[in-house]
Structure 1
Amino acid sequence: MNNTPPLARRLGTVDAVVIGLGSMIGAGVFATFTPAAQAAGSGLLIGLAVAGLVAYCNATSSAQLAAAYPTSGGSYVYGRELLGPWPGFIAGWGFVIGKSASSAAMAMTFAAYAAPPGWERPVAIAAVVLLVAVNYRGVTRTAGLARIIVAAVLIALAVAVAAVWAGGGTDGTASMWGGGGVLAQGWYGILQSAGLLFFAFAGYARIATLGEEVRDPRRTIPRAILVALGIAALVYACVGVSVLAALGPDGVASSPDPLAAAVAGWGWAAPVVRAGAALASLGALLALVAGLGRTTLAMAREGDLPRWLAAVHPRFQVPHHAELAVGAVICMVIAVADLRGAIGFSSFGVLAYYLVANLSAFTQTGPDRRYPRFLQVAGAAACVVLVATLPLESVLAGLAMFALGIGYRAVRLRRNRPKL
């Protein structure tokens, strides 16, 4: 039974858009194009369009659901309300476990840019502690810091794109499309690149997880989700075309930091790009910690996680126990895990999360329906197709993660069953 106090509605449309952008324009925009080019060559531009279309289908589902259920928890709440407790739990478990690992990886990405050699883990842990402290002080503090970070990252990206086109750095333009054109790697490669690029878009769901703290949620949340997605898609398109023009598909595929390589002709621009990547990692981590705290709160309210995590701070109006627990888990993962292999199941969890969202939105009727059902069908089908493109080890790790969660919930339900 949920008897915890609600969170305060303090976020406006601009705040929600900024938090969504901070989630999407993270470190992925600086690094995702490399594996996408390895999979599809210049066909990554088609992959980017496919990823954007899939993200749009999923975003309309999230927007439609969030308008009807403006509370913390995102797809955990939607699945529970419209499909039943088990689908809701699957969505929530996949998000909390998968995104905790993603948060640790994002903290380590920040440290890779900002820390001296050998100090990466301590600096990553310090970054998590700092951002948990910001979130602890209230959601308006979170939104305020997100504004600063997003503005700085967008400036860094604008400098990089301008440097490519104004600095004579487009030597790869003639070979931009590669020897065999955009279809040289085939449609499987394009779909694989779409799967990689989709996860750079996926942060719009962070707006929905904060639904309990948004003013006028039926109007604000759908608008903020689509505006943030549209801005992110435009930014990704500009960056993708620019790095391909500067390096060509082979150059992008072989560079661990393609945007920095693309501006190498302007020596002063490369440090700006690296600073932008560090800040982008920090912005994505800030939004992830906030979203994890709210989803944990929602699951604790229903008893799917320990109810102690459902506490709301009387002054700051945040789920302070949940945020402290999330921060502690992320720090432990950073301290002990090899994150190159630890986050393989995160992609699996994200796709399961959005699959539940699409299926939940499909069931909505009457005034709650804002978008045609074919968008939810397309979104759900795309989630399944993208899962099929994941490496086998990622699928196996994801299945193991969900098996653990299902076992945990089954044991808890059995122990809490009333005795006759």
Structure 2
Amino acid sequence: MDTVTDNGGGQTGEDELDRTIGLAGALTIGTGTMIGAGIFVFPGLAAGEAGPAASVSFAIGAVIALLVALPTSELATAMPKSGGGYYFVSRGLGALPGAIVGIGLVFGLTFATAFYLVGFGEYVIEILIEIGVIESPGVAVGPIEVVSVVGVLLGVGLTVLSVFGTENTESLQNAVVGLLLAILIVFLTVSGLDLLGVRGESRVSGSFAPEGYTPILTTAALVFTSYLGFAQIATVAEDIVNPDRNLPLSMVGSVVLVGVFYVVTLLITGYTFPSEELLEMGETAIVDVAEEYLGLAGAIAILIGGLLATLSSANASILSASRALYGLSSDRLAPPVAAKVNREYGTPHFALAFVGGTTIVLVAFGRTEVLAEVASFLHLILYGLICVALLVIRRRDPGWYSPSFRCPGYPAVPIIGGLASFALILFMQRLSQILGIIISVIAIGWYLVYARDVNLKDDL
């Protein structure tokens, strides 16, 4: 890989990131990113479409995520480099596929971050409404709603925090995810006991699949965005201590942990209210479920949980997007300034500034709901190509390839994982597919104009 020489501005001779993230930090990056939409946005939408059987949709998503996490873990221990999936695909399939997924990963994570920041603002407003501070969610400051103002301020704060050291991001992530999981464990335990009749009469009644079994697969495609976080761990691999051990443990562990939370949550949600009522509740259904079992205190606790979930997702995504851009720049597929590392803090400050600045603009003026769906499309392309990259690299068997973790069930696991990832794209909304293809075409154009003469070294 091309190296970046000292051009001033606080750079080392060959820019390298500080390894400061331990196993707990890696787990919270994956868990904190994935726990958001799956718990606080999708239960009402998913259970409204499929009833309690939506829990199967989330289980299918977890299985597919594991089928990709295992190949990713092998590649990550062989190539613990910033950029994660970009680095694996570029070394396995070449610079052009690498540029497509690398640029897609940067913008996919940036789009997702904007979505999370707007979600944070919405949860702040909902809490203020719940406690009677304001009456309407549509409060504006000039042409921009307060929701966006809150999101912009948080985006600035998280970007600055990341610039001053990855350990700051890790500490915030550990604290936020720890409190979030504590809230969820209490909520799911109390509501689960009530649902089963341990603390009263059982609420488990009615059909498991009131809408039939067909919606299970379409719902699985809808909710797969909930499992995007595990690959973000590989994206920050160059920041992780003892990557041979911590990368596979954190990637597989985060998928399993989050998958269990999702399945339990959907079973409780699906059996608490009829499907038609859940559809009307929409994205806030989990708040109504909490209020049903725990009263106003439960509703406020879940609103705080949603606040923490969107905070942790945005925090991890800003970190991961900047590392993906850093990886592209280190390979000269993006302007070299993005590979500059601050000498004092060991962070890619220009890459962070680009990601943070772009995110803030999107929060202020963009349609973040659409951007979040496009992020899912781009990630599914990445996941499928990661599986292909493992098959190609194993077949080629280069001398430098020496992973400490081997994907079990090879070659069936990466083959099934790749096919399942590509297949889920077919169940996505047409607009998301079109926008995802447009971004991929733009990435191809960028490569042909800017980086077609780049030769990547096939070693570490």
| TM-score, normalised by the number of residues in structure 2 | 0.85
Q: Distance in 2 between matches of 1:327 and 1:33?
A: 30
> Aligned with 1:145: secondary structure?
helix
1:155 maps to a residue whose letter is A
2:204 to 165, 173, 197: 173
What is the aligned partner in structure 2 of residue 150 from structure 1? 177
What are the Cα deviations for residues 276-310 of structure 1, in whole angstroms up to 9, with x where unaligned? 00110000000000000100101111222211111
Q: Which moved more, 1:77-86 or 1:17-26?
A: 17-26
- After TM superposition, the structure 1 = structure 2 runs for residues 299-378 of structure 1, keeping only pairs within 5 Å, are 299-365=328-394, 367-368=402-403, 369-371=406-408, 372-378=410-416
2:424 to 365, 386, 390: 386
What is the aligned partner in structure 2 of residue 204 from structure 1? 230
| Runs of at least 5 residues in structure 1 that lack an aligned partner in the other structure | none
1:243 to 260, 263, 269: 269
Quickly say closer, same or farther: Cα 1:44–1:134, change in 2 above 3 A. same
Quickly say closer, same or farther: Cα 1:173–1:148, change in 2 above 3 A. same
What are the Cα deviations for residues 44-78 of structure 1, in whole angstroms up to 9, with x where unaligned? 12211211110000100110110000110011100
1:7 to 12, 17, 42: 17
Q: Distance in 2 between matches of 1:261 and 1:330?
A: 31
| Runs of at least 5 residues in structure 2 that lack an aligned partner in the other structure | 5-13, 129-136, 140-145, 456-460
Q: Distance in 2 between matches of 1:347 and 1:272?
A: 28
1:281 to 305, 310, 317: 310
The structural deviation recorded for 1:263 is 2.1
Quickly say closer, same or farther: Cα 1:339–1:166, change in 2 above 3 A. same
Structure 1 runs, 4 residues or longer, greater than 6 Å off: 168-171, 414-417
2:336 maps to a residue whose letter is R
The structural deviation recorded for 1:120 is 0.7
What are the Cα deviations for residues 214-235 of structure 1, in whole angstroms up to 9, with x where unaligned? 1221121111111111111111
The structural deviation recorded for 1:22 is 1.1
What is the aligned partner in structure 1 of residue 164 from structure 2? 137
Q: Distance in 2 between matches of 1:250 and 1:170?
A: 23
What is the aligned partner in structure 2 of residue 108 from structure 1? 118
1:89 maps to a residue whose letter is A
Q: Distance in 2 between matches of 1:40 and 1:400?
A: 32
Quickly say closer, same or farther: Cα 1:92–1:153, change in 2 above 3 A. same
CA contact (8 A) 1:5 1:312 kept: yes
The structural deviation recorded for 1:139 is 1.3
The structural deviation recorded for 1:364 is 3.5
CA contact (8 A) 2:55 2:264 kept: no
Quickly say closer, same or farther: Cα 1:170–1:377, change in 2 above 3 A. farther
What is the aligned partner in structure 2 of residue 221 from structure 1? 247
2:252 maps to a residue whose letter is L
The structural deviation recorded for 1:415 is 9.1
2:208 maps to a residue whose letter is W
Q: Distance in 2 between matches of 1:173 and 1:394?
A: 36
> Aligned with 1:268: secondary structure?
helix
Q: Which moved more, 1:89-98 or 1:342-351?
A: 342-351
Quickly say closer, same or farther: Cα 1:217–1:171, change in 2 above 3 A. same
What is the aligned partner in structure 1 of residue 7 from structure 2? none
The structural deviation recorded for 1:414 is 6.2
The structural deviation recorded for 1:341 is 3.0
Instruction: Report percent identity of matched pairs.
Output: 24
Q: Which moved more, 1:165-174 or 1:132-141?
A: 165-174
| TM-score, normalised by the number of residues in structure 1 | 0.93
CA contact (8 A) 1:35 1:196 kept: no
Question: RMSD across aligned C-alpha pairs, in angstroms?
Answer: 2.1
Q: Distance in 2 between matches of 1:166 and 1:223?
A: 31
What is the aligned partner in structure 2 of residue 269 from structure 1? 298
Q: Which moved more, 1:355-364 or 1:270-279?
A: 355-364
Q: Distance in 1 between matches of 2:412 and 2:235?
A: 24
Q: Distance in 2 between matches of 1:392 and 1:78?
A: 29
CA contact (8 A) 1:171 1:246 kept: no
> Aligned with 2:423: secondary structure?
helix
CA contact (8 A) 1:27 1:109 kept: no
What are the Cα deviations for residues 245-275 of structure 1, in whole angstroms up to 9, with x where unaligned? 2124333333221211112232211000011
Q: Distance in 1 between matches of 2:453 and 2:20?
A: 39
CA contact (8 A) 2:44 2:286 kept: no
What are the Cα deviations for residues 340-395 of structure 1, in whole angstroms up to 9, with x where unaligned? 33443222111111112111122243653433111100111011110000011111
Count of residues in correspondence between the two structures: 412
Q: Distance in 2 between matches of 1:216 and 1:415?
A: 35
Quickly say closer, same or farther: Cα 1:83–1:161, change in 2 above 3 A. same
